[in-house]
Structure 1
Amino acid sequence: MTLKQGFVPWLVGVLIAVQAVVVHSTEKPLLFGIVPQESSSKLADQWTPFMRHLSEQLGREVRFTTAPDIPTFEERVLAGHYDIAYMNPYHYVEFSESPGYRAIAREGEKRIRGIIVVGEDSPITSLEELEGATLAFPAPAAFAATILTRAELERLGITYTPRFVSSHESVYLNVQKGFAAAGGGIERTFNSAVEEGLTGVRVLWRSEGFTPHAFAVHPKHADDERLRIQAALTNLGSSEEGLALLQRANLKALVPASNGDWDDVRGLGLNFIQKTGDP
């Protein structure tokens, strides 16, 4: 083979590769929606490196996005705004029905629990002592932070005044500042708040555990693309870099998930609750 004969197929290969890159670069970014349990700035700090890594693994931009509040997040999920979404268990049960998001991953060694917190110096030692008090919650249909905690209060026949605030962080701050006698949250966001410097708040009660948040893909995406996204997520636990990204986002190693994993939540019969909450 002459130099010229060898050069031609090499050049053709280069041109094909360049063309593929050009075509590839025109693909719309995948929008990855994160439920706004915490402030947008904090979520961006936690999740942006995670998205950058996924972009590299998929060869396509994955863009972090969230919403100003939980009801807006729900509206966007219902409208199919997000290609991929990280949503609470109740959200997944609802949005797997319509518009049909499909679960691909979840934390493998975790159960989500609702907690009720009170002030560190509060004399309250039992839920019964919350009778007649004002309690803070992140949103009306927050699965663990509101639904599970309120269910327990109602089971005990405790009457109280609910105050819905913008996020889990706001719940803890309301309790810390004495604006509410107690509040509902989850262990992950409470531990994160403590690591960030929250003081003066303690856990009074914990619920039983349920299947945690879902990573789910919009049904418009083909099976092969969904499986590629699933592999990129579940492979994070196989390297030090991936584990560091999971830790930064306050996640444990992810495992493949299927729709039936959330049957424990479906068994609670929560379909009467409005779509206005988060975990």
Structure 2
Amino acid sequence: LLNYTSSVIPRYSLKRLGFALPMRLYPDTKQLEMALTEGKVRAISLAESDFYALSPDRQEQLKILWETPGFSPFAFATHPRVPFYSINKLQRAMVNLNRRGNNAELLQALEARNGFEVARNSDWIDAQDINVQELNMHLPLAEPAQE
């Protein structure tokens, strides 16, 4: 699965730590999970939101071996033509979701259990260092699942 939290960040973190593990990309989380269940792979990398989306009994069957160190979370970006007032109003609304007690369910549905915070471009310096082209070089794709 080629996404930021379940693929790019774990592979980049392991590379920085000097680990070169054999990895394969899967087209979606379901096929990734099936590969683990069927014994085709010994370990998988899942985003935290994907792990918590699993049923509780499925979560209990898996053992978390390692968590990536903190990286910049996902960003909401706007086009340069969006007026500052509109950006500011949206930021305030998103951050205020954290403060209102009855929004936990909404935040969970948005897969933002930790809520939102205002950020600046400089907060993404760690993500700017990641060379995704180099990271993906020589990464094989998994065979599509047979239906």
Q: Does TM-score exceed 0.5, indicating one fold?
A: yes
Considering only aligned residues, what root-mean-square deviation do their CA atoms show, in Å?
Answer: 2.9
2:71 to 210, 214, 222: 210
Q: CA deviation at 1:255?
A: 1.4
Q: Aligned partner of 1:230: which letter? A: Q
Q: Deviations over 1:166-192 (max 9, x none)?
A: 333442332123232222222232122
Equivalents in 2 of 1:274, 1:229: separation in Å? 34
Secondary structure in 1 aligned to 2:44?
strand
User: 1:119 — aligned with what?
Assistant: none
Residue 191 of structure 1 pairs with residue 52 of structure 2: yes
Secondary structure in 1 aligned to 2:71?
coil
User: 1:258 — aligned with what?
Assistant: 120
User: 1:234 — aligned with what?
Assistant: 95
Gaps spanning 5+ residues in structure 1: where? Answer: 1-137
Gaps spanning 5+ residues in structure 2: where? Answer: 137-147
Q: CA deviation at 1:246?
A: 0.9
8 Å CA contact retained: 2:91, 2:118? yes
Q: Aligned partner of 2:121: which letter? A: N
User: 2:19 — aligned with what?
Assistant: 156
8 Å CA contact retained: 2:72, 2:124? yes
TM-score scaled by length of structure 2: 0.70
Secondary structure in 2 aligned to 1:149?
helix
Which of structures 1 and 2 has the bigger CA Rg? 1
8 Å CA contact retained: 1:171, 1:183? yes
Q: CA deviation at 1:196?
A: 8.0
User: 1:219 — aligned with what?
Assistant: 80
Equivalents in 2 of 1:195, 1:213: separation in Å? 26
Equivalents in 2 of 1:226, 1:234: separation in Å? 12
Q: Aligned partner of 1:225: which letter? A: S
User: For residues 144 and 248 of structure 1, do their structure 2 counterparts lie closer, same or farther at Cα, with a shift above 3 Å needed?
Assistant: closer
What pairs with 1:257-276 in structure 2 (closer than 5 Å)? 257-266=119-128, 268-270=129-131, 272-273=133-134
Q: Aligned partner of 1:156: which letter? A: F
Q: Deviations over 1:35-91 (max 9, x none)?
A: xxxxxxxxxxxxxxxxxxxxxxxxxxxxxxxxxxxxxxxxxxxxxxxxxxxxxxxxx
Q: CA deviation at 1:233?
A: 1.0
TM-score scaled by length of structure 1: 0.41
Secondary structure in 2 aligned to 1:204?
coil
User: 2:38 — aligned with what?
Assistant: 177
Q: CA deviation at 1:161?
A: 5.0
Identity of aligned residues (%): 20
Q: Which has the higher contact order (CA 8 A, sep 6+)?
A: 2
Q: Say how many residue pairs are matched.
A: 133
Q: Aligned partner of 2:19: which letter? A: L
